[in-house]
Amino acid sequence: EKRPLQLASNLVAMHTTTALAGVAVFLPTAAAFFGAPLPLAGGRPGLAATSRAGSLSVNMNTQDAQPGLNRRRFVGGTIGGAAALGLGALFPVQSAEAAGKGKAGPRLPQGEWNELVASNKISKQAYSVLHDADTERPFTSPLNKEKRPGVFKCAACATPAFLSETKFNSGTGWPSFYDKLEGVELEADNKMDFLAQRQEVHCVKCGGHFGHVFNDGAAWKVPTGKRYCINGLSLAFSPNDATEAA
């Protein structure tokens, strides 16, 4: 007589627990998506970049940088919620030390990033890509048509990243390469990218975000089997400069 009541009670308890766990996943993600006031780098004075629906505003005088939607905050919020559910154990990846890869994120002091924008060395849109890991619209980069011999360097710190001889036309709308130089580092332990079968790639010196690498290069018959899908805004091209990167 009591068994059906006990089963019903157990089901209510189970669904309540599931609902609470869902909230634990949703809240950090929603906060990241809607631009909750989470200050950059612990709220130190700096440049605030807000990228929402393709727009970007930069306030050089802000005291607490409060970025809006960008990949690092959105993915970070999602992973934070998933970690609360213990999903990390389901998708183990190599440690940074074992894989020889590094953690993504800006490495220059915020003041240096501010100066890069203030001096017009990089544009506000390039800052949004390099610093906040946003993605430029496809088929908008002039580098898609760049065919001269030379070196593609980090737009922020001029670290050599890709040789022109490894560039190929992938038709995806972003500059693509099948190999990288030592100035390009792969991110470790990003579970969202792990599920998407890709890895974030960034500058080994300044940490600026370049794009992602995919293991689908065989479709284009490239020698490495890899496709580095890169934001053109993150790069600066130096023609006839290949020997400098050797």
- Residues assigned a catalytic role: 229
Cα–Cα distance measured from residue 202 to residue 183, given in angstroms and rounded to the nearest whole number: 8
The values of phi and psi at residue 125, to 5°, are -70, -40
Cα–Cα distance measured from residue 93 to residue 32, given in angstroms and rounded to the nearest whole number: 24
